[in-house]
């Protein structure tokens, strides 16, 4: 019997190999980083060792800094992303099904989504002040315009034959949207949620750039002033860790909700 290769196209591999490969690669990166630091191939001011970064994280944990910053940032991420998603879903569904609405909105959305979010910070301060609402607005701008187009494409990928079948059965436009298009596109829309909340994490430092008293992004910006690279590295890695946890939670929930759509 021919032995299965690990490099067959679209072929499943044993779960333990899948997990071990990812863990091994991360371990390799950390080991290489530690060796470079240990041999002082790079000035420690610019590249602290993994041990120094871990110690900085433990210090923040002991002093309660990490918990306070994490709470503030997670709150901003969730509110900003939910705000964007609640608007993106109905607009994306309408754009994906009605050409008039797509033609009406897509040029404007395409224009705004290419604008640099950082450049909009002064305007968001003028419009929303310097409180949390300004941070929500930055996260919204960074997420909504991409998300609405992704949801539009998710809806467009529903087979036309299903829609024609609904018409043949005499279903109304509303019934076709509710009973055919929405259920068929939900797994893909959920994947769009998972991807876009990841984007929201990447905008966190930008959102907390101005007049934030706490937050993971704010801690990174403060550390930059004092060349505290261990704090910068820890903040970046911890944001990445929280983003990974969010991604895994969405994957787990998606597999539970749409178990029939596993790939």
Question: What whole-number distance in Å separates Cα of residue 205 and Cα of residue 114?
Answer: 19
pLDDT at 2 over 60: no
Distance, first Cα to last Cα, the chain: 26
Cβ-based neighbours of 147, under 8 Å, separated by 6 or more? 84, 85, 88, 92, 192, 196
Confidence class of residue 58 from pLDDT cuts 50, 70 and 90?
very high
Question: What whole-number distance in Å separates Cα of residue 224 and Cα of residue 232?
Answer: 7
pLDDT at 117 over 90: no
Closest CA to 131 of 213, 222, 204: 213
Rg (CA), the chain: 23
pLDDT the model gives residue 54: 94
pLDDT at 178 over 60: yes
For the entire predicted model, the pTM comes to 0.87
Closest CA to 220 of 22, 42, 66, 33: 66
**Fold classified for 61-261:** MetI-like fold (1.10.3720)
């Amino acid at each position: 019997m021919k032995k299965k290769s690990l490099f067959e196209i679209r072929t499943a591999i044993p779960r333990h190999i899948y997990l071990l490969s990812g863990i091994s690669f991360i371990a390799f990166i950390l080991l290489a980083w530690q060796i470079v630091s240990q041999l002082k191939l790079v000035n420690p001011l610019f590249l602290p060792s993994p041990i120094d970064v871990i110690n900085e994280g433990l210090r923040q944990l002991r002093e309660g800094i990490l918990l306070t910053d994490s709470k503030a940032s997670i709150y901003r991420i969730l509110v900003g992303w939910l705000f964007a998603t609640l608007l993106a879903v109905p607009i994306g569904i309408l754009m994906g099904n009605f050409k008039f609405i797509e033609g009406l909105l897509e040029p404007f959305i395409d224009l705004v989504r290419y604008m640099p979010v950082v450049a909009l910070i002064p305007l968001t301060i003028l419009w929303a002040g310097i409180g949390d609402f300004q941070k929500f607005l930055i996260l919204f701008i960074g997420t909504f315009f991409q998300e609405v187009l992704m949801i539009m494409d998710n809806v467009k990928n529903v087979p036309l034959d299903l829609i024609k079948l609904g018409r043949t059965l005499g279903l109304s436009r509303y019934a076709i949207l509710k009973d055919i298009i929405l259920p068929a596109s939900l797994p893909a829309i959920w994947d769009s949620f998972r991807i876009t909340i990841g984007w929201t994490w990447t905008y966190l430092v930008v959102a907390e750039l101005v007049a934030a008293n706490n937050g993971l992004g704010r801690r990174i910006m403060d550390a930059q002033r004092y060349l505290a690279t261990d704090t910068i590295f820890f903040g970046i890695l911890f944001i990445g860790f929280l983003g990974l946890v969010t991604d895994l939670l969405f994957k787990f929930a998606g597999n539970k909700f749409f178990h029939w759509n596993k790939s």
